[in-house]
Amino acid sequence: MEFQIGVSTPTPPACPKKAIELFFVTHPKAPKALLGPFLSQEDAACGLVVMRSAEAVVTSSLVDGIDELTRWTGINNGAICRAFAGTSGGHHE
Q: What pLDDT is attached to residue 46?
A: 95
Determine phi and psi for 11, rounding to 5 degrees. -70, 130
Could you tell me the pTM of the whole model?
0.73
Phi and psi angles of residue 33, each rounded to the nearest 5 degrees, phi first? -55, 140
The region of weakest confidence among 11-15, 72-76, 85-89 is 11-15
- The whole-chain average pLDDT of the chain stands at 83
What per-residue confidence (pLDDT) applies to 75?
A: 96
Give 25's strand partners.
35, 58
Q: Domain residues of the chain, as ranges? A: 18-85
pLDDT in tens, 51-85: 999 999 999 999 999 999 999 999 999 999 999 99
